[in-house]
Amino acid sequence: MSAQMANTDEEFDGVEAQVAASMEGNGVTEAEARHLVELQDAQVFFAEEVGGQYSDTVGGFSLDVHTGTLHVRVTPGFANKAEVDAIAAKHGIDITYDEAPWSIAELDAVASAVNAEFGTEGVAATPDYETSTMLVSAPDQATADRVEAQVSALSQNLTDRGTTGSSSITISFTIEDLTDMPSDVCFTDRDQCDLPSDWESP
């Protein structure tokens, strides 16, 4: 078998694996799954380009797995439809528009502020651009309450500046204390860790 044929076989196997994963993960037909796989790279490039250029008024992207249409989430201040339509045409994908309460830039700014303020306390905030919400892990409920108060205040500042009409970014909390978990070095060099004598790595 030539190297070119081997590479072709590997690419085919990779596509088939993606099709199977799409069918299992999204509950779509094989034809729909193949369509999704064919569009995947173009949609990623489109989202990176549009999200980078228009992060102040674009809130994120979500995919209709049955039609392959990419939903572009935009804030009320969005004024670049012609430009975004042209980018979609360049990448050969179908898009539609939905309203979003917060932009990518706003979600990123709030997440950065939360991580700067509470990162040393075991808090991690990550924007969810598909839902315009914030995913936050916190070590306890008291800390989560403080984070929620800060996010509310930051959201109000954005609203006061007229950048959005929503009152506060919605937060999805996970309460998880990570302070007692061993660091990665414990799995490679036990002498670098302060572990109980009876502790065993998984």
Q: What is the per-residue pLDDT across 105-150, written as a single tens digit (0 to 9) for each?
A: 999 999 999 999 999 999 999 999 999 999 999 999 999 999 999 9
Summarize the confidence of residues 151-156 as an average pLDDT. Answer: 93
Say if residue 38 is in the same domain as residue 126: no
Average pLDDT over residues 160-187: 70
Q: Residue 52 CB: number of other CB atoms within 10 A?
A: 10
Residue 50, domain member (yes or no) = yes
Residue 104: per-residue pLDDT: 96
What DSSP assignment string belongs to 164-195?
A: -S-SS-EEEEEE---TTSPPGGGGT-GGGS--
Q: For 44-66, how does the pLDDT look when each residue is reduced to its tens digit (9 = 90+)?
A: 999 999 999 999 999 999 988 78
Last residue of a domain, one of 77, 99, 121: 99
10 Å CB burial of residue 13 (0-12, 13-18, 19+) is exposed
Helix (H, G, I), strand (E, B) or coil at 28: coil
CA distance 95 to 200: 51
Residue with tokens 């302060």: 194
With a cut of 70, say whether residue 184 has pLDDT above it: no
What are residue 93's phi and psi, to 5 degrees?
Answer: -125, 155
Confidence class of residue 32 from pLDDT cuts 50, 70 and 90?
confident
**Number of domains forming the structure of the chain:** 2
Q: Which tokens in the block code for residue 67? A: 């039609």
- Joined tokens for residue 79: 């004024």
Task: Look at residue 57 and tell me if it is in a domain.
Answer: yes
CA angle 71, 74, 76 (to 5 degrees): 145
Give the domain range for residue 130.
104-175
Residue 186 in any domain: the answer is no
Both 55 and 143 in one domain: the answer is no
> What's this model's pTM, rounded to 2 decimal places?
0.72
Residues 69 and 144 in one domain: no
Q: Are 77 and 163 in contact (CB under 8 A)?
A: yes
Q: Is residue 202 part of a domain?
A: no
Residue 19 is assigned to a structural domain of this protein: yes
| Alpha carbons 55 and 105: distance in angstroms, whole number | 5
